Amino acid sequence: MSLNLHLFRMFAAVVRTGSFSRAAEALNISQPAISKGVRDFELQVGCRLLNRTPKGVVPTDEGLALSRHAEALFAVERAAEDELSALRGLHNGSLRIGASTTIATYMLARYLGAFHRAHPDVDLFLVSANTRDIAEQMANQDIDIGLVEGPVEVRGLTAVPWQTDVMALIVAPDHPFACDTQPIDPKRLQDEIMIVREPGSGTREVVAQALAAHGIEPTRTLEIGSTEAIKQVVAAGVGVSIVSEAAVADQVEQGRLKLIQIQDVTIARSLWRLTSPGRVVMPAARIFEKMLSDRKAFPSEPVLTII
């Protein structure tokens, strides 16, 4: 049996969007055409692929199995289209970059700017999410470049060290720690409200591992899903946090936050570039990867350090 790829595409769009109407919009065809196409596809394969529920459309076990093949198939199709465009020169096409939040917010702008100046006709797309989500998107071939902050264990992906990021304890200028002229005793963190990122965040995992290694387990935590929000809350006098020094350089210079050293505790983490062995790397992605590796043109960002 040869699958009808046109109908297969309709079915995959419904699974991806979770509804017939959104799938119709994505494919720029009518909803009745989508509904008929999925019914015809189910007749072709000989089983029900979708269940209609009050909350939307969900795939059956058979539909879920087929949808995984659809992701791989249409990812190869996109790669073929991108490569053909690239072979005609980087005068069109797109580059999809995914980066975990800290990297996307504070470290990628100069790379994006340099790439755009060199290849202004290539459309750039930047996805910002936590480490786990970016790894999943890279594994599903939804993005061409993946940069993450924490350890990654996803089948089919390899993590290559990219840069080293120094982490630091931040407090408000009027916090008791701000008056200390020497590194603080790590035990003093036990009674502080430690503000942490959401589960799945590379920052959260690295900080938790580092503190646990030194026997530090704060009794109170506050979970906030954004580094920017964490900085605002700490500056307002609520708790303390450990974040990338690159993320707070401006606020430290303005006097809104202060970096505090912890006695005998240094937290530095590797930032990782994700690769997918066997995947065809498009020329645009290859050029961007070369920029990411060019230490002379793009040295590491300077960081503020308390001495």
Q: Which domains does the chain have, with CATH numbers?
A: 5-74 (1.10.10.10), 84-163+270-293 (3.40.190.10), 166-268 (3.40.190.290)
Q: Are 214 and 183 in contact (CB under 8 A)?
A: no
Please report the pLDDT score of residue 242 as a whole number: 94
Closest CA to 201 of 220, 224, 218: 224
Q: What are the φ/ψ torsions at residue 102 (nearest 5 degrees)?
A: -65, -45
Please report the pLDDT score of residue 239 as a whole number: 93
Please report the pLDDT score of residue 307 as a whole number: 24
Positive or negative, the CA dihedral 202, 190, 195, 171 is negative
For 61, 93, 148, 223, the CA distances from 79, given in Å and listed in that order, are 28, 11, 22, 39
Tell me: the pLDDT tens digits for 157-188? 999 999 988 999 999 999 999 998 899 998 89
Region of poorest pLDDT, from 137-141, 152-156, 263-267, 273-277? 152-156
Measured between alpha carbons, how far is 186 from 135 in angstroms, rounded to an integer? 33
Residue 200 has pLDDT above 90, yes or no: no
Please report the pLDDT score of residue 117 as a whole number: 92
Please report the pLDDT score of residue 92 as a whole number: 66
**Burial class (CB within 10 angstroms; exposed 0-12, middle 13-18, buried 19+) of 151:** middle
User: How many C-alpha atoms does 81 have within 13 Å on its Cβ side?
Assistant: 10
32 vs 3 pLDDT, higher one? 32
| pLDDT band for position 243 (cuts 50, 70, 90) | very high
Residue 301 has pLDDT above 50, yes or no: no
Residue type, 243: V
Residue 302 has pLDDT above 60, yes or no: no
Q: Give the chain's count of helices (H) and strands (E).
A: 11, 11
Stretch 226-238: mean pLDDT, rounded?
94
171 vs 67 pLDDT, higher one? 171
15 vs 53 pLDDT, higher one? 15
Listed in sequence order, the residues at least 6 apart from 285 whose beta carbon sits closer than 8 Å to its beta carbon are 95, 144, 145
Region of poorest pLDDT, from 50-59, 100-109, 136-145, 236-245? 50-59
Region of poorest pLDDT, from 96-105, 131-140, 150-159, 161-170? 150-159
In the chain, what percentage of residues exceed pLDDT 70? 91
| pLDDT band for position 237 (cuts 50, 70, 90) | very high
Please report the pLDDT score of residue 300 as a whole number: 53
Region of poorest pLDDT, from 161-175, 220-234, 283-297? 283-297
Question: pTM for the whole thing?
Answer: 0.59
Q: Which long-range contacts (CB under 8 A, 24 or more apart) does 206-210 make?
A: 206/149, 206/150, 206/167, 206/267, 206/269, 207/167, 207/242, 207/267, 210/167, 210/242, 210/265, 210/267
Measured between alpha carbons, how far is 59 from 80 in angstroms, rounded to an integer? 28
Average pLDDT, the chain: 86
In the chain, what percentage of residues exceed pLDDT 90? 38
